[in-house]
């Protein structure tokens, strides 16, 4: 019990594939060897999804609080004693958004009080949540506000492929105006700290993408590279960081140049996430770096088109569970080595092979 990590799971949109990928993940009993899962949902959703997937062998245990969670079981905390609405798979419904928000709120509260060790969030539909919670933008922004953190980094990971974004959920027309030298420096510093603390990479190599096609073609296709991005990269290099760029996004990913770096900073959401999901859609994990807590999620959405059809692939959700646990352990190691400076050189040497 002492070595198992208590993983809190928000259920996501009940009408989507969230519950399906959760139950499929924990239908593999090997998952219980290292984690104690705590699912925040309603028992009726679990029963209905379990029946639909014919997972009779999967056992779950109703608990009143995360402290009561038991090993070798899928622990379930009821998010509301009221009778829930009837699940209608594939339907965008404001009531479903309300229940998804309740699940996230309860799980986040337990995470904040250390009742659970990490949080893995199943996919949501932001639009249906906003019908009742107009200030809700997304998981990342919600958890940053809860933690009192002004700046966080959306970090997509899949093995050695790691992509962060400078600007997140903003309209494309606003991206250029949000790119500043200070913001790039701050995000790269956050990425460096995360690679060191969360992934155990002592001297990370980071690539910075340009904003315009061909990274501006030396000013012919835009001035942001020469006026903003290049000066930021030079400043970071002068501080001793291993940062290079700006690179044209198409050639950078097309030629496989990303393989020579520990992480990539994209200028906007789709610039980074489109190639990432093309290469790692089934195994990708969304990690929120820069928070005092550990939160991950699968890199796919609610999947209304396949919801209720036993067609969802649980691979990304399973990887999100593994990633959350790995980061939790890595942070613990980082703290321990920081307490004993005589061990720092040993950890640095032992982790150089992570990039081989």
Distances in Å between the alpha carbon of 208 and those of 286, 294, 316?
Answer: 19, 25, 26
- The band of 340, judged by pLDDT with boundaries at 50, 70 and 90, is low
**Does 335 have pLDDT greater than 90?**
no
Q: What is the pLDDT of residues 238-258, one digit of tens each?
A: 999 999 999 999 999 999 999
Residue 320 near residue 314 (C-beta atoms within 8 A): no
Q: Cα–Cα–Cα angle for 332, 336, 340, nearest 5°?
A: 165
pLDDT of residue 162 exceeding 70, the answer is yes
Q: How far apart are CA 207 and CA 153, in angstroms?
A: 15
Mean pLDDT for 36-62 is 93
Q: How far apart are CA 74 and CA 199, in angstroms?
A: 28
For 190-238, how does the pLDDT look when each residue is reduced to its tens digit (9 = 90+)? 999 999 999 999 999 999 999 999 988 888 888 999 999 999 999 999 9
Contact status, residue 209 vs residue 266, Cβ threshold 8 Å: yes
Return mean pLDDT, the chain.
90
What pLDDT was estimated at residue 52? 93
Please tell me the predicted confidence (pLDDT) of residue 262: 97
Is residue 101 within 8 A of residue 129, CB to CB? The reply is yes
Task: Provide the pLDDT confidence category of residue 139 given band limits of 50, 70 and 90.
Answer: confident
What would the two tokens of residue 143 be? Answer: 């958890």
Tell whether the model's pLDDT for residue 346 goes beyond 60. no
Question: What's the rounded mean pLDDT across residues 325-332?
Answer: 95
Provide the Cα torsion 333, 115, 106, 112; round to 10°: -50
Half-sphere exposure of 110 (CA within 13 A, CB side): 28
Residue 351 has pLDDT above 60, yes or no: no
Span 77-132, pLDDT tens digits? 999 877 777 899 999 999 999 999 999 999 999 999 999 999 999 999 988 888 77
pLDDT tens-digit profile of 273-317? 999 999 988 889 999 999 999 999 998 999 999 999 999 999 999
Residue 169 has pLDDT above 60, yes or no: yes
Query: Is 354 a residue whose pLDDT tops 70?
Result: no
More confident residue, 121 or 133: 121
Query: Which pLDDT band, with edges at 50, 70 and 90, does 57 fall under?
Result: confident
Closest-CA residue to 18 (of 280, 323, 316): 316
Residue 170: which pLDDT band, with cuts at 50, 70 and 90? confident
């Amino acid at each position: 019990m002492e070595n198992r990590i208590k993983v809190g799971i928000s259920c996501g949109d009940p009408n989507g594939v969230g519950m399906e990928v959760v139950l499929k993940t924990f239908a593999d009993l090997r998952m219980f060897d290292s984690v104690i899962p705590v699912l925040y949902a309603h028992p009726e959703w679990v029963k209905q999804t379990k029946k639909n997937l014919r997972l009779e062998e999967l056992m779950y245990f109703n608990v009143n609080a995360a402290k009561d969670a038991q090993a070798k079981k899928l622990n379930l905390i009821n998010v509301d004693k009221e009778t829930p609405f009837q699940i209608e798979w594939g339907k965008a419904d404001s009531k479903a958004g309300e229940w998804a928000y309740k699940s996230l709120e309860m799980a986040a509260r337990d995470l904040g009080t250390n009742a659970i060790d990490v949080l893995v969030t199943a996919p949501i539909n932001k639009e249906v949540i906003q019908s009742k919670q107009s200030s809700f933008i997304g998981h990342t922004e919600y958890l940053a506000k809860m933690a009192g953190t002004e700046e966080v980094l959306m970090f997509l990971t899949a093995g050695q492929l790691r992509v962060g974004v400078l600007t997140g959920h903003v309209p494309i027309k606003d991206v250029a105006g949000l790119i500043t030298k200070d913001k790039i420096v701050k995000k790269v510093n956050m990425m460096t700290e995360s690679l060191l603390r969360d992934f155990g990479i002592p001297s990370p190599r980071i690539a910075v993408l340009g904003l315009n096609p061909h990274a501006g073609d030396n000013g012919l296709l835009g001035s942001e590279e020469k006026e903003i991005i290049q000066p930021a990269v030079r400043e970071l290099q002068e501080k001793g960081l291993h940062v290079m760029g700006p690179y044209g996004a198409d050639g950078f990913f097309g030629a496989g140049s990303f393989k020579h770096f520990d992480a990539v900073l994209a200028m906007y959401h789709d610039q980074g996430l489109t190639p990432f999901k093309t290469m790692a859609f089934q195994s990708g994990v969304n990690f929120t770096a820069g928070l005092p807590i550990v939160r991950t999620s699968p890199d796919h959405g609610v999947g209304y088109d396949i919801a209720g059809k036993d067609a969802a692939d649980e691979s990304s959700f399973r990887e999100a569970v593994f990633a959350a646990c790995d980061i939790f352990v890595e942070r613990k190691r980082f703290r321990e080595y920081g307490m004993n400076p005589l061990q720092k050189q040993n950890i640095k040497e032992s982790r150089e092979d992570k990039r081989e």
